[in-house]
Amino acid sequence: MTWSVRLLPLGDRAQLIEIDGGSREVLAVHRALDRDRQIGVVDLVPAARTVLVTFDPSVLSPAAVAGWISDVTSAEHPGREDEDERGAPPIQVPVRYDGDDLAEVATLTGLSPVEVIEAHTATPWTVAFTGFAPGFAYLIGGDPRLQVPRRATPRAVVPAGAVGLAGPYSGVYPRSSPGGWQVIGHTEATIWDVHADPPALLRPGARVQFVPDGAR
């Protein structure tokens, strides 16, 4: 497969790749670039519809980076998913499903609370990109029945470890912050640790398996 992309230069140190598609196509482009990463490429940052490529202009010129991106994205690839990622075991995140919005999510989806939990834990999710706060991962690939809107009124404080749903995404709040996602549970797992290497537990492309932890 090939991808339809548009390149936007950002000064002399970055190129923004706009991708015609969704998060899965973005992940596929990110993985393809990472497999063929050139010396001088500093970082590859996926988002919902883009991949930001930063580079050292003393090693690579903007024209060279643009040519590399074009070569990678115009080449034929076997599919969206990287075999190594599919073969890697998912990161297990234990969750106690005691969130204040669990009953509301059940109402919105037409499922029972138990069915919401079963749907959330049935299959692995995939980290599409990170943002909002350090270590906050936007997870895709869950049961489509769990797609719910954000809360009409965001909370001023959502505790660290809260597990939520919003639109097609699930996520874990790495620290206490305001937020408008539907909170269905919480985890004691450390999602962001500045002393760890890498500091983020959940990085783009990683698979994540939510596991029920104790009584609800």
DSSP 108-161: HHT--HHHHHHHHHHS-EEEEEE-SSTT-EEEE-S-GGG-BPPPSS-EEEE-TT
pLDDT at 104 over 50: yes
For residues 124-140, give the mean pLDDT. Answer: 94
What's the CA gap between 73 and 34, in Å, rounded? Answer: 12
Residue 85 pLDDT: 53
Q: For residue 45, give the amino acid letter.
A: V
How far apart (Å, rounded) are the C-alpha atoms in residues 94 and 100?
Answer: 18
Query: For 12-33, what is the mean pLDDT?
Result: 92
Give the model's pLDDT for residue 3.
78
Q: Indicate the pLDDT class of residue 76, thresholds 50, 70 and 90.
A: low
In this predicted structure, what is the pLDDT of residue 4? 87
More confident residue, 78 or 186: 186
Q: Is the pLDDT of residue 1 over 70?
A: no
Q: What is the mean pLDDT of residues 6-16?
A: 94
| Alpha-carbon gap, residue 175 to 83, rounded angstroms | 32
The pLDDT score that the predictor gives to residue 78 is 52
The dihedral region occupied by 59, where left means phi > 0, alpha psi between -120 and 50, and beta the remainder, is alpha
Q: What is the pLDDT of residue 77?
A: 66
Q: For the residues 62-90, what does the mean pLDDT come to?
A: 76
pLDDT higher than threshold 60 for residue 83: no
**Percent share of the chain, pLDDT over 90:** 82
Mean pLDDT of 149-165: 96
pLDDT digits (tens, 9 = 90+) for 105-123: 999 999 999 999 999 999 9
pLDDT at 22: 85
Residue 181 has pLDDT above 70, yes or no: yes
